[in-house]
Structure 1
Amino acid sequence: MPTNTLTDTICKTAKPSEKPRKLFDGHGLHLFISPTGAKVWRMAYRVDGKPKTKSLGAYPLVTLAEARQQCAVLRKGLLEGVAPVTKTKRPDSNFWEDCQAYWNGRKDVADGYRENALRGLELHLKPALGDLASAEIDRAKLLAELNRMDAAGKHVFVRKVRMWASQVFDWAVEQGKATINPAELINPQKAFGRRRVKHHASLELTEIHEFVRRLSFEKDLNSVLACRFIAYTWVRTNEMRMMRFDEVEGDAWLIGGERMKRDKDHIVPLSRQAMEILDVMRTRRREGCEYVFPSDHRLDRPISENTVLALIARMGYKGEMTGHGWRTVASTWANEHGYPPDAIERQLAHTPEDKVRATYNRAEYMRVRRPMMQEWADWLNSSTKPDEPGP
């Protein structure tokens, strides 16, 4: 096995990733890099065939040369039958107390997100694992509790709970309260079930408020505002992308027929919430840019067609929801609230097969569509805290 493969430059410039990284130098010596960016020297070895790990100190306080020197001393001792002395720290807290300590210390996230994480851990992991020390929880114990969630059909939420627990275990390792992160040993893509993925996947109506709450934890990036705007207007993603400021007059947006799927002009009544998003985008407008939702890098191009999908995937809803999925959700909501089918179809820019209905003056529908869109926007914003944070 190659030795002395690291340099100080490699160690200094190494960046953290979503999962822990190990940069190996040989003879079991490696630089462990946590997702938070902490760098610790460790040495992997075996005693009676069992894998062990010895922490040698944090980098750069302990230099590469010093770590190699410590490693050489320990290797010599092993050859002489002397195992490294490892401090067995008496647990001064249990897993649930570690969860509280870690998440209450996360001041970089929204209060709602912190509460959601703690509530999820409390409901699903605390009953069986809460009284154990974090070091006592192995992969099998953690997976058993997560499998209970998966068996109950919580295929999306179980992934979130695993992720939240993983962050606690990473913190516990750094604090000397645990030696491994058992959550990192569980691959959620293989371990847990999935819902049937649909074309233009959409959530159930009962899951929307949870999605909206999760969206509220994101910063007001253009991608977040674009996702909300699609929700408020029921338009297709491409129609949102190509929207220009000069198409808006008052509280109505006129989309020319050349951009519509059926080559017909389409009027979109704008709710108060949709207008607020337009006001924000006007303040961000760059000189020479006509698009409401422009590309971050070029003034002559709109936002990418994959931007909203990437946002939804980052939120943990990949395969469960899409930008186009808002149209399905909104149509379900409107039908359940008793709005006329013709008004709903007109808002979705669907042309009835009946030619008589198709030629009906769309202005007549505006008297129904305006209050419908405002009630829909108000309903989306009426998110209340559930008894259980998750689908």
Structure 2
Amino acid sequence: MNTPAQQTGRIQRQLTETQIKNAKAQETAFKLVEPGGLSLLVKPSGAKLWRYRFTLHNSESMLALGRYPDVSLKRARELHQEARKLVASGISPVHHKQQEKLSTFGAVASTWQEATNGRLRASTVTQREREIKNDLLPKLRSRPIDSITRIELTRHLQVVEKRAPETARNLRTHLNGIFEHAIDIGLISANPTPPRRVLQSRQSKHHLALPAERTGNFLRALDNSRVNAETRIAMLLVLLTAARKDEVISSKWEEIDLKTKSWTIPASRMKTKREHWIPLSPQAIELLKKLRELVPDECEHLFPNRVDPRRPMANRSLNAVLDRLGYAGESTPHGMRAAFSTHFNKMGANIDVIEQCLAHIPANKVRAAYNRHAYQEERREMLQAWADYLDLQRVG
């Protein structure tokens, strides 16, 4: 049964936990009230919401203090007192709360990502978002940005380093960018990101590369496997085009021109930030025609993600193929490029043509500035010779 205070709306001078627990929902919302503007709104749905109504600068406003029982009566009174002190100082607790939300680590990290995503490749954005979501936000999301210390960041990075050294190094880079952004927008005056020396140095490591003469064994294993057609085509295109794994799996149909037998990768997707033109051999064209029959017309990517077709194939898909076929300890998808390079360097082919095929920026900047010949015909001949060589290796 409802209390008289509930029925008449009279001010209840001192609420108790029992009164709050026993307050039952009615057809219309009603309030349980304490002095100083604190009240508990009981909605027809049964939700019980703490509210603080105050007047500041001749204007009435309302501050939400949370939901009962998540926010207890005791905690609601504490929040109420904190808000009253702000009002007494001429500060709106609503505005103060909004500012606090904007100055949390999670909020600053989000605005930093929005400001910098446009400068990065899509795969880099995805990786960065995943690392921040998995290893920074669970610990720091709701923390005020100015309360985070160098010592706690050091300890956290060192914990991550034991599990994933490369991720820890990436996280340190992300943290540095986030805190520099916080300085730029006036939230802090010093960057607490630990120096690089708190983590172990990266060990120089080359991608495992399959010897060119072993490609036949690999191709036969791939042909005889149960790898799905789309993934198999992706792996073969990595081999045939000498392109990087991400350039292949993130490719879009608009980049492919079957009439001119070419694939043009925009600068935004290239590691070098320069547009890259790739001549397509008949073997590559045949694969693309098969792929076109497999991929729905509405998909913009050659290799749409199975879970979300608006995104490209998962980054680990081709590595998983190598694992399944028993080549994980012998090569990586990126190492397939090394097989191409090694083969033609052994043959004494023109190094400039090889480097153009691999989309490498020449180390000699003076030479790069004057040698503007794109070697298009030579590159087409080289990639055709490579495709023919792979066919010969496949048949042993």
Q: Which TM-score band applies after superposition, normalised by the shorter structure?
A: 0.3 to 0.5
TM-score normalised per structure 1: 0.46
**Higher Cα Rg, which structure:** 2
TM-score normalised per structure 2: 0.46
| Bigger relative contact order, structure 1 or 2 (CA pairs below 8 A, ≥6 apart) | 1
